Amino acid sequence: MLIVTSISELQREISRVSPSQKIGFVPTMGALHSGHESLIQRAVTETDFVVVSIFVNPLQFGKNEDLDQYPRPLEQDKAICKQLGVKLLFTPSVTEIYPSEEETTIVNPPTAMTSVLCGKYRQGHFQGVATIVTKLFNLVRPNVAYFGQKDAQQVAIIKKMTKDLNIPVKVQSCPIIREKSGLALSSRNQYLSSEEKEKATLLYRSLSKAQRAFQEGERDCQKLLQIIKEEFRSPQTPLNKGGLNLNDSLNKKGLNDVNIQLQYVEIVEPETLQPLTEISDSALIAIAAYIGNTRLIDNVILTVTKPIIALDGPAGAGKSTVSRRLARELGYIYLDTGAMYRAITWLVMENNINVEDEESIASLVANVQLELLPSDNLQIPVTVKINGQDITKEIRTPRVTNQVSKVAAQSAVREKMVALQQEYGAKGGIVAEGRDIGTNVFPRAQLKIFLTATPQARAKRRLIDLQNQGESNIDLDTLIKEIEERDYLDSTRAIAPLKKAEDAIELITDNLTIDQVIEKIKSYLILV
């Protein structure tokens, strides 16, 4: 990793990057934490040459704000960037960026966007952000720039600015990274005492409560805002059941000494930031509060479209049982990808087409109408219709089972099925499982779960299944070995190897019942 401090060195290094290489850029103010790291990691996976800048930009700090106090652990930040695979780190001084005493040009985004939310309380802040980001974009000339959704107003303004000024960069917003307690990571969390840190979970807790009300059907913004304001009035209220248990310790300790003050809470349209009265599509609830002397912000996005839940993980961890139950309990569609391939196989056979005849099969699938509908019967995961005909039962016959892998291996069939799965995804409200579901089919699924269990636990479950089926001459050690071998093969195979998506939540099910797994997944839903 190269570290440069001057604009001329930066420009020289950028001019050396081959035009065929994609430049990814992560602008930061340093004091890097896992939130920053998630942006850098994404940049490293999606682009060829990652540039990070660390610059505490005086232009975006108000007179009485924390410019001097802002943490600057530069050596530690350098080590993090190097370890994550950053190619070029830019750490300029203030005089390098703003050399003259004269007034500099200020980029002024639309007042409608800078005068709401934080803009009301931090005058000149977003003009300062827009100015430094424009300057950095001009110097780094990135293809993609990564920003955290944590600063939702900042991302919305930068997206609008790049569009209005035709700056040729894709602005990618990335999910908020939180501590287990729900507290959004921020360089400013360093200012908090441990009591204040506990109290600070109130921001997310109150947002979650409003989010839950929204999920239960509340669309009136005044009512949703009221829920949050209420939480700030009575911080001792225990967290709603089924949500993250953030509040246990808050109830035990006397934290009333910590002064907590809500600065604002608003519900706005996520792109334009204009206030909403009723939510018909999507909305941003943004909040700012003082915890002692530290000002923190947080937000959640609400979308009327239900999310996609993608489940992945090794064989035998309980994926399909969990997926079916979860879909049923949530009223979502269980996207039974196996059933889709079975349906096509049935159609091929019904039309007397040879299962090896790729050409005829390709033209057959080109115009196929395939529907998956929720089923109320736990034994039948989904109702399947092909060209209007209900074939739920027919696809489970041995005739279909014997041929399905030959049909499913054909690229025309696979492409059509993935496209169809993605069409279902666009409507939302689905639970999908499968090897590459979170990495390839739904890389932007709102909730990704990597369901796993140790080989020992999976072998024990399998042994019980086998014993229930009357098989008694298999021992646990043989099963453990078989599972370990299969895991190895699955994770090293060339096509679609088993791999945990970067943003998946790993859920180890060794000591959990199916009910407990389902409850856990439901509680994660609140995070999306």
Which residues sit at the interface with ligand AMP, rule CB under 6 A?
Answer: 28-29, 35-36, 38-39, 147-148, 150-151, 174, 176-177, 184-187
User: Of 151 and 312, which CB lies nearer to ligand AMP in the complex structure?
Assistant: 151
Amino acid letter, residue 98: Y
The answer to whether 417 is a known ligand-binding residue is no
Contact 296, 203 (CB under 8 A): yes
The answer to whether 62 is a known ligand-binding residue is no
The answer to whether 236 is a known ligand-binding residue is no
What is the nearest approach in angstroms of ligand AMP to the Cβ of residue 516? 28
The dihedral built from the CA positions of residue 464, 468, 471 and 472, taken in this order, carries a sign that is positive
Length of the chain: 528
The answer to whether 313 is a known ligand-binding residue is no
The answer to whether 151 is a known ligand-binding residue is yes
Contact 335, 457 (CB under 8 A): no
Residue keyed to tokens 């002024």:
108
User: Of 271 and 329, which CB lies nearer to ligand AMP in the complex structure?
Assistant: 271
What is the nearest approach in angstroms of ligand AMP to the Cβ of residue 184? 5
User: Of 90 and 147, which CB lies nearer to ligand AMP in the complex structure?
Assistant: 147
User: Of 39 and 88, which CB lies nearer to ligand AMP in the complex structure?
Assistant: 39
What is the nearest approach in angstroms of ligand AMP to the Cβ of residue 203? 12
User: Of 190 and 256, which CB lies nearer to ligand AMP in the complex structure?
Assistant: 190
What is the nearest approach in angstroms of ligand AMP to the Cβ of residue 379? 43
What is the nearest approach in angstroms of ligand AMP to the Cβ of residue 41? 11
SS (H, E, C) 106-159: CCCCCHHHHCCCHHHHCCCHHHHHHHHHHHHHHHHCCCEEEEEHHHHHHHHHHH
Number of residue whose CB is nearest ligand AMP = 148
What is the nearest approach in angstroms of ligand AMP to the Cβ of residue 521? 22
Q: Which two tokens stand for residue 442?
A: 């739904």
DSSP letter, residue 51 = E
User: Of 121 and 488, which CB lies nearer to ligand AMP in the complex structure?
Assistant: 121
DSSP 342-381: HHHHHHHHHTT--TT-HHHHHHHHHT--EEEEE-S-TTS-
The answer to whether 30 is a known ligand-binding residue is yes
Residue spans of beta strands (DSSP E) within 203-293: 260-268, 282-291
- Between CA 144 and CA 172 the distance in angstroms is 7
- Between CA 34 and CA 234 the distance in angstroms is 31
User: Of 61 and 341, which CB lies nearer to ligand AMP in the complex structure?
Assistant: 61
The answer to whether 119 is a known ligand-binding residue is no
The answer to whether 437 is a known ligand-binding residue is no
User: Of 151 and 394, which CB lies nearer to ligand AMP in the complex structure?
Assistant: 151
The answer to whether 242 is a known ligand-binding residue is no
Nearest residue to 521 (alpha-carbon basis) of 509, 510, 511: 509
What is the nearest approach in angstroms of ligand AMP to the Cβ of residue 158? 9
Q: Write the CB contacts of 166 (distance below 8 Å, at least 6 apart in sequence).
A: none
The answer to whether 15 is a known ligand-binding residue is no
Q: Can you tell me whether residue 490 is helix, strand or coil?
A: helix
Contact 92, 5 (CB under 8 A): yes
The answer to whether 33 is a known ligand-binding residue is yes
Total H helices, total E strands in the chain: 19, 17
Is 125 one of the annotated active-site residues of the chain?
no
C-alpha atoms less than 13 angstroms from C-alpha of 405 in its C-beta half-sphere: 2
Cβ count within 10 A of residue 380: 15
Q: Which two tokens stand for residue 450?
A: 């990597």
- Between CA 227 and CA 234 the distance in angstroms is 11
Question: One of 23, 26, 36, 384 is an active-site residue; which one?
Answer: 36
C-alpha pair distances (Å), 156 with each of 13, 99, 114, 302: 30, 29, 10, 16
Residue keyed to tokens 């115009």:
367
The answer to whether 100 is a known ligand-binding residue is no
User: Of 204 and 332, which CB lies nearer to ligand AMP in the complex structure?
Assistant: 204
What is the nearest approach in angstroms of ligand AMP to the Cβ of residue 444? 16
Q: Please report, in angstroms and rounded to a whole number, the separation of the first and last CA atoms in the chain.
A: 34
Nearest residue to 299 (alpha-carbon basis) of 289, 313, 290: 289
Q: Which two tokens stand for residue 141?
A: 């000339």
Amino acid letter, residue 177: I
What is the nearest approach in angstroms of ligand AMP to the Cβ of residue 178? 7
Strand order of the β-sheet with 382-386 is: 370-374, 382-386, 389-390
Annotated binding site for (R)-pantoate: 60, 154
Would you list which residues are annotated within the binding site for beta-alanine?
Answer: 60
Which of the residues are catalytic? Answer: 36
* Residues of each annotated binding site for ATP: 29-36, 148-151, 177, 185-188
